Amino acid sequence: MNEKKGMKSMIPNWRQIREEVVQVLTDLIRINTSNPPGNETRAAKYIKDFLEKENIQAEIYEAAPARGNLVARIPGSGELKPLILLAHLDVVGANAEHWSKEPFGNNIDDKYIWGRGALDMKGMLAMEMLALVILKRSGFLPKRDLLLVAAADEEAGGTMGMDWLIKQSIPGLREAEFVINEGGEGFIRDGIPVYSCQNGEKGVLWLKLSVKGTPGHASMPSNDNSIITIMNALSRIKRHKMPLTLTETTRIFLSEIAMAKGYNLSTGAKARDLSLQIFAKRYFSDERSVQAMLYNTVSPTIIKAGHKVNVLPEVCELTLDCRLLPGETPAGFLKKLTDIINNPAIEMEIISQAEPTVSPIETELYRIMKKAVQLEDDKAILVPYLSPGGTDSRFFRKLGITAYGFIPIIIDESELQRMHGIDERISLHNLEQGTRILFETVREIANAG
């Protein structure tokens, strides 16, 4: 790139950066931000101190006492709209009894940093902090403001975090062009590093079904036993095969992987879709995360009925967690389920609902991310990814801002299961390489658009 006169070197000392990013992450893990209760302000203060030593301005905004959100900024020339590096400060709880290391301790060996949040998502937060610090040290003047937003309360829905923060008048937040957040990690497929860009999230429809039955002595069965009515509804849902539905994201996800494998796809839209469906069934039949991208799903989660072994239950309640593909709406899916169940005696109440959100991938940022992963390995590919669960990205997508989940690390399924699970950890290699990929991405998009 063209370096301006008087500008310091843009080539970072990666040995030093590696030590710094490791230090930041181990410090962040030791600040216990398990939500509930969160207590994110302590972590926000740590970040503010760290960044201000590097001459990066940061502010803390508390939605409630101890529930701090941090916004830091490298001001740009204003020629382009802001880029936000987004993270959340809180983590889910951890039961130390089940862990082989102290989840909020200082555990580092020659390969890994262990602790709650290593993957979700203090590791990424540390990478984002260092990416900004390297740019700031170089004296680089970006064409857009570069923001770091570290929000509270993501793990509990964001009421004290992003949902609240985005409604405050903080310059740059609602005017951003791009957001980089959690949600997409990479994996190895047949020797090819596959990085994902989470550009969409499924919608949510949580339902409570309830039905009444005639109470009475269980020695004299009734024809309207409420448990049996609910079981029948459930078996109708189970028997109904939800169709495999391709979306823009899954079409590209599957074809990128198919092409990298040298798999032949038919030409012509219809035939191509058919071959993608066959490819998905053949190669991803055991992968729940990929299967979830292809279907509207329904999971029964809580069932309640009865209180005594010899008494017929008066009422039976069942909750369903439905996740919807882009193109589906909560109202539309509720109508479909009602038709499938086909029993007017069953009442259906919506507990919670959210539309699916999707960002386009024909953007300068996507192109730059792809280039950045290929700088590490020219065989690497970038695929868009539709996540079955939600992140804070949804608050930005609703405003029409392009938000991508992009944690540029390579991990396998067993490492991924440690997220929200036991013995969460991140490899030192991933932490360093991730910082480099993120830095390259931010450096490029800072002036491109």
**Which positions lie near Zn ion, rule CB under 5 A?**
120-121, 182
Minimal distance, residue 153 CB to Zn ion, in Å: 11
For Zn ion, which is the closer residue by CB, 150 or 209?
150
b/e map 323-352, b = 16+ CB within 10 Å: bbbbebebeebbeebeebbeeeebeeeeee
Nearer to Zn ion, 80 or 165 (CB): 165
Q: Closer to Zn ion at the Cβ: 145 or 153?
A: 153
Q: Which residue has the tokens 């823009």?
A: 248
Which CB atom, from 246 or from 426, has the smaller least distance to Zn ion? 426
Residue 315 is encoded by which pair of tokens?
Answer: 């009422």
- d(CA 406, CA 183) in angstroms, rounded, equals 6
Are the CB atoms for 323 and 206 separated by under 8 Å? Answer: no
Give me the least distance between CB of 154 and Zn ion, in Å please. Answer: 6
Closest separation in Å from C-beta 201 to Zn ion: 12
> In the bound complex, what is the minimum distance in angstroms from residue 192's beta carbon to Zn ion?
26
Distances (CA, A) of 271 to 107, 265, 314: 52, 8, 52
Q: Are 128 and 58 in contact (CB under 8 A)?
A: no
For residue 46, the tally of other CB atoms under 10 A from its CB is 17
Query: Which token pair is 239?
Result: 């028997």
Least distance to Zn ion from the beta carbon of 163, Å? 15
Q: What's the closest the beta carbon of residue 152 comes to Zn ion, in angstroms?
A: 12
- Which residue lies nearer to Zn ion by CB, 56 or 426? 426
In the complex, least distance from residue 150 CB atom to Zn ion, rounded to whole angstroms: 12
3-class state of residue 34 by DSSP: strand
d(CA 317, CA 47): 46
Q: Integer distance in angstroms from the first to the last C-alpha of the chain?
A: 16
Q: How far apart are CA 437 and CA 332, in angstroms?
A: 41
- What is the nearest approach in angstroms of Zn ion to the Cβ of residue 67? 17
Nearer to Zn ion, 123 or 213 (CB): 123
Quick one: 150 or 305, whose CB is closer to Zn ion? 150
Q: Which three-class secondary structure string do you get for 48-65?
A: HHHHHHCCCEEEEEECCC
- CB closer to Zn ion out of 182 and 423: 182
Closest distance between Zn ion and the C-beta of residue 416, in Å?
12
CB of 88 to Zn ion, least distance (A): 6
Closest residue to bound Zn ion by CB: 120
C-alpha 430/C-alpha 420 separation (Å) is 19
Handedness of CA 165, 169, 173, 175 (dihedral sign): positive
Closer residue to Zn ion in complex, CB, 116/443: 116
CB 405 within 8 A of CB 425: no
Least distance (Å) between residue 87 CB and Zn ion: 8
Dist CA 3 CA 1 (whole Å)? 6
**Would you say the C-alpha torsion 404, 405, 411, 416 has a positive or negative sign?**
negative
Residue with tokens 């002036």: 447
Q: Quick one: which H or E segment has residue 245?
A: none
All residues at 6 or more sequence positions from 110 whose CB lies less than 8 Å from its CB, including other chains = 428
CA-nearest of 383, 384, 382, 377 to 433 is 377
